[in-house]
Structure 1
Amino acid sequence: MNNWFKFLYLSLFLMLTSKANAQEKVIVGEKQVLFSKILNENREVWIHLPKTYDDTTINPAKYPVIYLLDGEINFEYYVGMTDFLARTPYADIPECIVVGIKNTERTRDLTPTKAQKKSPVNPNLTLFADSGGSENFIKFMQEELKPFINKKYRTQEYSLLVGHSFGGLFAINTFLTHPDYFNAYVANDPSLWWDNKVLISKTKDYIEKHKKFPAKKSLFVSQADNEEQQKNWNSDMTQTIEEFKGIVESNGSLNYKHRFFEGEVHGTVSYPANYEALKFIFKGFRTDIKQLAKNPELLEGEYKKLSEKTGADFVPSESYLNVVLKFMKSNEFKESETYFIHMKNRLYPKVK
């Protein structure tokens, strides 16, 4: 084999090898960094967009936003969970934008008061010395992060706050102090023992002052089994969550759910709890496509109920209507197909 043939052979080999190795990547999100004047630091957030976000075959849609604390721990599994729950025709939730917030000073940002708790092994040491900055952190979220997300992405005016442990403490504190900042709150095994159960006192004060919780809000609280933790110095976590449950359930105005997860410990409870929380918050979103064949008016009726419960405007997405129309056409439900064609044209008129 002469040099020219050797060169040609090597070139073809490298070209075929590079094509074989040039595999398509699966992207779950993108990183954004914004400078916070309130916190005086750069904050990194991870953004996951719904699968239909860049679909050019449908009209540009707006999506609810989930603000997920401890983003570096929770983001990867959470976005897969939301995509799974939003898949048609079995969607339990709408497609959502997920904003995972990466920590810098976690204790500072997520705790509501300055702690004075002493170490159980060294009484001269004060634990959590950098605590008590949650009011600044929620101000950052409300005045800087949310406007940033709303400007950069197509967002619907419906948002969730999701947190675990100190993040759950932060979620409940935000619910009590700024209930209008989010439509729904998820607190997984929240650290309600914090600072001599300060949020238990704050919850009682809220009820005494307002008489009832705000309407059209949702709160999901999970509780881990934590059997092993009952033996250590932080054993009051379970008791305080139960105490909070008693206060809330004695006031029936809130769309509230408490869920105990047997066999799950503090570090594992978020995964199953977040799945149930999403289904609870968006209960009523799922519709039975087979029932729509018999009663097409049922679809808008169900979404109207959901909108009234949540205080937000939910309508069938164009992508779901396409699935419905395909089902009606393939099964020759002609009257229902005509009904949904008119609905789609009304909700999503073609731009001329």
Structure 2
Amino acid sequence: MAVLLTVVIGINTSTAQTTPFVLGETQQFSSSILNETRTLNVYLPDGYAPAGNTRYPVIYLLDGSANEDFIHIAGIVQFLTMIKQLPPSILVGIANVDRKRDFTFPTTVKKDKADFPTTGGSENFIRFLDKELKPYVQQHFRTNDTSTLIGQSLGGLLASEIVLKHPAMFNNYVIVSPSLWWDQESLLKQAGKLPEGQASVFVAVGKEGKMMEEPAQQLSGLLKGRSGMRVNFAPLPEETHLTILHNAAYKALQWLNGVK
């Protein structure tokens, strides 16, 4: 099923015709790990040919529903490719079913449990990403060995958990306004006991208050202290929690590809 926009052709609305403007395609597949059907929104680069020889890097986008971040991040990918600041890439938007369940690990904080009763499923979701989603994408699309994960807010918490616990799962991480306050910052507190690995990581935070800004900076410092980690911490004080993702993703994809 295609992800569609509508283009109106003609001036006289009584005789106007419309044709679909195809932004990407939507695929659904069954996850045995999550025991549910998951939806993917996929943007393919210009010139992509299923039977061709060219293979492409993949950008995995959390909060990737059409009414969340898929459309505007696809625009960034298309534009940066057009101006040759990003190699032609496949964008895979992972549509949400229950982001509070999927993006959080169990918490000991009673208020968090009461406010977010379905939480605590990140370990399962990480297995889904690694054992089902990535193999599915590799099987159905012409991919190469380069992969990037983009996550913001609770999605940034999940991306932080992956880069700290399973750093080799992706080559690149774009972590925006991560909700590291979760479970009294327990993820940061255990970071010293977690495995090291190689990855490029872009961490961004806006003007979002001490609870968001200080843990993001701390995460960046922890990662910079690890051998094999290439890290860029980007404070964006002109942005808020609601506005930051677009600008941060633009800057992150430039930096990951050597554009200063």
C-alpha contact (below 8 Å) 1:63/1:95 kept by paired residues: yes
C-alpha contact (below 8 Å) 1:187/1:222 kept by paired residues: yes
Q: Aligned pair 1:53/2:41, yes or no?
A: no
Instruction: Render the CA deviation track for 1:12-33: whole Å, top value 9, x for unaligned.
Output: xxxxx9xx64444321111111
Q: CA RMSD in A?
A: 2.3
Which aligned pairs between 1:55-70 and structure 2 lie closer than 5 A? 59-70=52-63
Gap regions ≥5 residues in structure 2: 1-11
| Distance (Å, rounded) in 2 between the aligned partners of 1:117 and 1:237 | 20
Q: Aligned pair 1:246/2:212, yes or no?
A: no
2:197 aligns with 214
| Distance (Å, rounded) in 1 between the aligned partners of 2:152 and 2:234 | 14
C-alpha contact (below 8 Å) 2:217/2:233 kept by paired residues: no
| Distance (Å, rounded) in 1 between the aligned partners of 2:256 and 2:232 | 9
Q: Aligned pair 1:80/2:62, yes or no?
A: no
Instruction: Render the CA deviation track for 1:134-160: whole Å, top value 9, x for unaligned.
Output: 111111111111121111111111111
SS in 2 for 1:241: helix
Gap regions ≥5 residues in structure 1: 1-16, 120-124, 287-352
| Distance (Å, rounded) in 1 between the aligned partners of 2:128 and 2:77 | 25
Residues paired across the two proteins, number: 246
Shift of 1:251: 4.1
Of Structure 1 and Structure 2, which has the larger fraction of its residues in strand?
2
Q: Aligned pair 1:44/2:32, yes or no?
A: no
| Distance (Å, rounded) in 2 between the aligned partners of 1:65 and 1:51 | 14
Shift of 1:78: 0.6
Instruction: Render the CA deviation track for 1:177-216: whole Å, top value 9, x for unaligned.
Output: 111111111110000111010111122223xxx5xx423x
Of Structure 1 and Structure 2, which has the larger fraction of its residues in helix?
1
| Distance (Å, rounded) in 1 between the aligned partners of 2:157 and 2:147 | 18
Q: 1:275 aligns with which of 250, 257, 260?
A: 250
Q: Aligned pair 1:224/2:206, yes or no?
A: yes
C-alpha contact (below 8 Å) 2:167/2:197 kept by paired residues: yes
| Distance (Å, rounded) in 2 between the aligned partners of 1:266 and 1:143 | 31
| Distance (Å, rounded) in 2 between the aligned partners of 1:36 and 1:214 | 28
Percent identity of equivalent pairs: 35
SS in 2 for 1:86: helix
| Distance (Å, rounded) in 1 between the aligned partners of 2:26 and 2:108 | 33
Amino acid of the structure 2 residue aligned with 1:136 = N
Shift of 1:77: 0.6
Shift of 1:242: 2.3
| Distance (Å, rounded) in 1 between the aligned partners of 2:98 and 2:211 | 25
1:308 aligns with none
SS in 1 for 2:23: coil
Which of these two proteins has the greater Rg computed from alpha carbons? 1
Detail structure 1 runs of 4+ shifted over 4 Å in the superposition.
none
1:199 aligns with 187
Shift of 1:220: 0.7
C-alpha contact (below 8 Å) 1:39/1:136 kept by paired residues: yes
C-alpha contact (below 8 Å) 2:224/2:230 kept by paired residues: no
| Distance (Å, rounded) in 1 between the aligned partners of 2:108 and 2:99 | 14
Shift of 1:105: 1.0
Shift of 1:225: 0.8
| Distance (Å, rounded) in 2 between the aligned partners of 1:126 and 1:70 | 23
